[in-house]
Each structure stands twice: as structure tokens, then as C-alpha cells.
Amino acid sequence: MLHAVIMAGGSGTRFWPQSRSQMPKQLLRLHGDRTMIQQTADRCRNWASAERTWIVTNSSQAAATAAQLSELPEHQILQEPAARNTAPCIGLAAIRILQHDPDGVMFVMPADHVIESTEQFELGVHRAAELVAADQNRLILFGVTPSFPSTGYGYIERGAQPDQGSPPFFSVSSFREKPAREIAEEYLRDGRFFWNCGIFCWKASTILDCLQEFEPELHAGLMRIQNALGTPQEAQVLATEFPALKSISIDYAVLERARHVGVLEAPFSWDDVGSWLSLPRLNGSDQNGNTIDGLFCSVETRNCIVRTTDQHLIAALGVENLIVVHTDDATLIADSDKSEQIREILDALKAADLQKFT
């Protein structure tokens, strides 16, 4: 059967001060009326029941995650004792799924992306599942057609098109790292390159076989965890073994080394909501270019991003290109051009012994 696996262990440091270690980006409402992880779970409802929806998150975030997804059984929220990147995360979900469904197919996605529309997303889900059913060795990636020359995404170079189905499915010719601007512009002109959006589909048993082939020590650790599932030693073995696993992405661990890898052209629109600068693109701006959420009044203020509450007024006079974010215990004021450096504030807070604000 088809299972939804939602990876929800990120920290979202570029969304400080709203994003904190205990309340990361995926638990925030950044677009629409529900939080990022709630919207992600909503997209899965028509094809994955609550019993086939799995959340993988950090232990410190598990309670807040469960509170936002109260419809899920508690045992569907898998807790990572330490952050170990996507290969251990996916491996942990795979062994849990196989415990319940030996033929389980995993549809894996991050918790903190904006995808529209749900109908187009479901079209992609079912197409990927059909491709895996046709060849159980397949590892399916989703590629997003670039709309601008991004230097912040990895790229997938497509190869031959092995069938004429829709959406189109291609072999993978190569993977490319985050490129310099001029290379990204070349990829955009070329037309054979997709953004790698981090959405995947494969059999749970197949991805574990690949981990055994390419990362045998990581696989061995997962097997020790698997052997303890359902026993009194489960929690202790997980706490001991998982932090010792190699921290590596599924891309490096498997996808760039495996043989049966294909890329499906995403039929949906996609945004990874990487920083505060994503909000004007997603939520629109007023006549002065300001993107506002909360109580705001301004004079001669342009191209600002403002986040506050309906009880706390932010007033601005004669400023441009600022990010202003108010929370109960911290307020950020930043030059929009410095949005990628917001994580440096967290380093400064730790250095000043102000970790409670991180």
C-alpha cells in the first residue's frame, strides 16, 4: 500500500524569531490559514489514511507536532533522538513501514513546502506509484521546471523519456550542485534541468536494499533498531543507535549512486519557502510593495515585510526594504538584502549566553 512520509525535522533558522528550536518553520503559519505541516498532511488525506501517514521529527519537536496533527495516532509520529539528515530519517520510516506493511511504498516529502494545487499533487502521487508498481526497483524523484535561475537549489539533468505517460517521466542523466548564477542561467536556457525539490517515491524495502549496498554501516544500525521494534529495549536501542548513524542526505547516500533512478516532472507548483523573502511571492504585496501580516500602519514605507499580531501595532515611517518580525519576546529588524544571514543572529545570541531566545 501507499504510505505518506513527511520529513519534519528542520529548524528553519532563517525564519527567526518566529521559528525557534521548539517551534520550527514547519509548525508556523506562513501561507494560508494552517501551518506548513498541517497543509502538508492535508494534501495526503485523499490517498493515505491516518494509519498510513508517518511523520519523522526531532524528539524535542514531537509534542508540538502531535498537537498540530491530533488526527494521527501517536505511534505514527516517529521521533529522531538526534538530527542525522535525510538518509537516516527515511531509513527510520522505512523500517517502521515494513513492520506493518512488507510491500509498502513510500511517498516522501518535506513538511515545509508550499505546493499547489492539491489535485495536481495527487496526479503526481498516483503517477509515481504506478511507475514504482511497474518496476519495483525504481527510485522516483520529482523535478520542478525552473522559473528563474536559482543558485539555492540543486538541479537534476534529465535524460531519455522511457514512456509517453503524463506527467512525463525521464531517466536521470546527472545531478548538479547549487550552481553559480551564470551556470544557473545556462541551465534555465538549456531546458533539460529540473530543480530537485526533495520529493521521492519508492518501495520501503528497495530503499533499505540500496542503503545496504551503498552505506552498509548506516544500514546495519537501522537493522539493529528494526530488530528492537516492539520489544522492551526499543526506546533504548533507538536512543543509542540513531545518533551514531552517519549524517548524510539520501541524495548522496543513494540517489547519486543507484542505477534505477528516474525523475518525474512535477505537475504542481512548488515553493520551498526558504526565507522571509518568500512571503511577498506567496502572499502578495500592497500598493507600496509591503507584505503585511498583523496590525500595521505606515507613512512613506516601501517594500517591507512585516509580521506581527492583531494586538501589537507596528508603525513605520520613511523606511524601505526592511524585514520586521515581532513576537512576544523578540523583535527582528533586518535589511531585506541580509535575509540569508539571519542565522548569524542565532550564533550571536549563543555567544552572548542568550540561548533561551533561539
Whole domain around residue 338: which residue ranges? 278-357
Q: Say yes or no: 295 and 148 in one domain.
A: no
For residue 165, the domain's CATH number is 3.90.550.10
Q: Which residues fall within 8 angstroms of residue 161, CB to CB, at 6 or more apart?
A: 168, 169, 170, 171
Q: Closest by alpha carbon to 38, among 116, 118, 122, 112?
A: 112
Contact 97, 254 (CB under 8 A): no
| Average of per-residue pLDDT across 130-135 | 97
DSSP letter, residue 287: T
Q: Which residues fall within 8 angstroms of residue 138, CB to CB, at 6 or more apart?
A: 131, 132, 202, 206, 260, 261, 262
| Average of per-residue pLDDT across 342-348 | 93
Q: Say yes or no: 24 and 139 in one domain.
A: yes
* pLDDT value of residue 10: 81
Q: Say yes or no: 235 and 147 in one domain.
A: yes
The predicted-structure confidence for 229-243, as pLDDT tens digits, reads as follows 999 999 999 999 999
Q: Say yes or no: 6 and 53 in one domain.
A: yes
> Given the C-alpha cell 529522531, which residue does it identify?
80
Q: Say yes or no: 27 and 156 in one domain.
A: yes
> Rounded to whole angstroms, what are the CA distances from 303 to 16, 50, 307?
20, 42, 13
Cα 278 from Cα 287, distance rounded (Å): 18
Helix axes 204-214, 86-100, angle to 10 degrees: 130
Q: Say yes or no: 210 and 323 in one domain.
A: no
> Given the C-alpha cell 503559519, which residue does it identify?
29
Q: Count of domains in the chain?
A: 2
The predicted-structure confidence for 166-188, as pLDDT tens digits, reads as follows 999 999 999 999 999 999 999 99
Q: Say yes or no: 165 and 302 in one domain.
A: no
* pLDDT value of residue 163: 87
Q: Give the confidence band of 22 by pLDDT, cuts at 50, 70, 90.
A: confident
Domain boundary among 271, 286, 304: 271
Cα 284 from Cα 173, distance rounded (Å): 37
CA angle 66, 11, 256 (to 5 degrees): 105
Q: Say yes or no: 188 and 288 in one domain.
A: no
Cα 37 from Cα 26, distance rounded (Å): 5
* pLDDT value of residue 70: 96
Q: Say yes or no: 341 and 219 in one domain.
A: no
3-state SS, residue 217: helix
- pLDDT, the chain, mean: 96
Cell of 196: 530537485
Q: Say yes or no: 219 and 294 in one domain.
A: no
* pLDDT value of residue 12: 78
Q: Say yes or no: 35 and 142 in one domain.
A: yes
Helix axes 216-228, 86-100, angle to 10 degrees: 40
Q: Say yes or no: 54 and 27 in one domain.
A: yes
Residue 326: Cβ-neighbour burial (10 angstroms; 0-12, 13-18, 19+)? buried
Backbone torsion region of residue 45, taken as left when φ is above 0, otherwise alpha when ψ lies between -120 and 50, otherwise beta: alpha
Domain boundary among 271, 301, 325: 271
* pLDDT value of residue 262: 97
Cα 80 from Cα 60, distance rounded (Å): 9
According to DSSP, the β-strands at 53-58 and 322-326 are unpaired
Cell of 99: 513492520
* pLDDT value of residue 228: 97
> Given the C-alpha cell 540513531, which residue does it identify?
242
What residues pair up with 323 in beta bridges, in sequence order? 305, 334
Q: Closest by alpha carbon to 103, among 210, 205, 6?
A: 205
Contact 27, 64 (CB under 8 A): yes
Look up the pTM and report it.
0.94
> Given the C-alpha cell 500592497, which residue does it identify?
286
Domain boundary among 271, 300, 317: 271
